[in-house]
Amino acid sequence: MRILVMFDLPIATKAERRAYSDFRKFLVKDGYCMEQFSVYSRITLGRDALASHIARLKDNLPETGSVTVFSMTEKQFEDRMVLLGKARRDHSNDYGAQMTLFF
């Protein structure tokens, strides 16, 4: 089985940033891997282990924000699609032909 954790935590104050950081560190220390920003997954050894992982998540839950947990089979996780767009081009140094007229 696989457990997927998605979270949206506020980071407006220093205390909220600390809570966000502590929760993320907990996930990494507990064996979760980052799939995307604020989306982490972990392999579990069945439904019994899933229940203990969810209990640990509840014990380390930040006071504010939301955390969503999905459980799925390994087959369902393998069947996911990762869709990627083109790499963004950095435009910070793209002066174009117009700037060459000034040199």
Q: Which residues pair with 70 in a beta bridge?
A: 4
Alpha-carbon gap, residue 79 to 57, rounded angstroms:
26
Residue 8 is labelled as binding a ligand: yes
b/e map of 19-37 (b: 16 or more CB within 10 Å)?
A: bbeebbebbeeeebeeeee
Length of the chain: 103
- Selection from 9, 12, 45 nearest residue 25 by Cα: 9
Which residues make up each annotated binding site? 8
Which residues make up each annotated binding site for Mg(2+)? 8
